[in-house]
Structure 1
């Protein structure tokens, strides 16, 4: 897989004005209802569709963070290079479901996962915004990062072309389990697309640890949002014989 590595600067980082305009274009995808009704929701425009997202403000994982919009914008505007049509996609920490919904609208076979306490709101959003619109019905399922992933998704029967994640890295005690989950799900031909908002030092440390297991390419750097978007793929586990063989 050919690509530039993360230590090269992305186009948005090389030209701050480009990053600022990109951030504005992404935030413009959001709209609010003109009339306030009995049910509160926020609207988004992706894949030429209006998407209505219901949040649950009493649950941290059921709030839509800007990183999800960044990832959705990238998926839609780069669909020629990152074509999700008929691809197997899993989202980690799906939250309110926006990334999974947009992936469904782009033709993917989507499995969206999160912790048990946010599944009700996640299922509601995904069902309301994909029913009758998508080629494949998305699967919403519980996933606790760590050892459970091997039971839920055995590698003998489960393979994902893309792993998507938006704002799953923050100051929580499960970063080791998250890294192990990325490692388990990411096979040799799997790509990770991961949007992350930098807040505290643990986020920076996680990126360095992540790079030890994966090749990492920076796709977006949006300083005004404190968000970066990465593409990653696993480092080949070459045998000693392979390493010694002439090129």
Structure 2
């Protein structure tokens, strides 16, 4: 897309988007809010540039494009590449952004602590940040450079909280990297993380680990294969599940999950 999308155009984009995403998760050591150096016009502080805050190098793809989106009254430019599932915005992500935008007050996103699983090029995390949330965006190591680049490009000096980027490999070292005693999120977000891959059980275990009493999981997905519905059945066994929204033209559904406690 070469122009910012209006609300009416989003549905068309959801239909036209390709249909197989990347979904695992991101790195430690990303810049934090206090590293931004404060507002311009201060004493002798030198304002940091995007380059100075960049800690992960984007993969050297040949086919990067700049795609434009419009959410929460803000123009967002995402660097994408069709060379990687994790460098493309998928239909579930666009649908979830629209849902967050339309229900931001109801969800009370201002200062909410949010973790996104499988953030990819970062559109959902950017929109959540623009809406006032404190966001941790996660994905696999090879995705992190492009993810952080997009987050900084679109949130630096534009949001109350600078998003954090962390590595998260589904099902691996969860308690070591995200100990339940230290990490609590108001929301866990996931979009198009379910498709035809071999890590669905690890994904479900990761979702469950990251949710505690009070955590709301919002999962948006384009339903493509029978395995997607099989995952949904397992998801319902672990989470009290509510269908929040549907986008029939794009086969996207958004679910709310609350972890079941014995």
Q: TM-score, normalised on structure 2?
A: 0.76
Q: Give ranges in structure 2 of 5+ residues lacking alignment.
A: 1-6, 15-62
Does residue 139 of structure 2 align to residue 114 of structure 1?
A: yes
How far did residue 167 of structure 1 move?
0.2
CA distance in 2, matches of 1:216, 1:25: 29
Alignment of 1:17-166 (within 5 A): 24=8, 26-27=10-11, 40-166=65-191
Comparing 197-206 and 140-149, the one that deviates more: 140-149
CA contact (8 A) 1:67 1:167 kept: yes
Q: In structure 1, the residue corresponding to 2:89 is in which secondary structure?
A: coil
Q: Which residue of 2 aligns with 1:3?
A: none
How far did residue 209 of structure 1 move?
0.3
How far did residue 77 of structure 1 move?
0.5
Q: Which residue of 2 aligns with 1:228?
A: 253
CA distance in 2, matches of 1:232, 1:144: 21
* Structural RMSD (CA): 1.7
How far did residue 81 of structure 1 move?
1.1
CA distance in 2, matches of 1:117, 1:174: 17
Higher relative contact order (CA 8 A, sep 6+): 2
Q: Deviations over 1:38-92 (max 9, x none)?
A: 9731111111110000102211111111111100110011112111111110000
Where do 4+ consecutive residues of structure 1 move more than 2 Å?
23-30
Q: Deviations over 1:176-217 (max 9, x none)?
A: 100000110111110001101101110000000010010000
CA contact (8 A) 1:29 1:46 kept: no
Q: Give ranges in structure 1 of 5+ residues lacking alignment.
A: 1-22, 31-37, 238-247
CA distance in 2, matches of 1:122, 1:206: 26
Alignment of 1:167-206 (within 5 A): 167-206=192-231
How far did residue 235 of structure 1 move?
1.3
Q: TM-score, normalised on structure 1?
A: 0.81
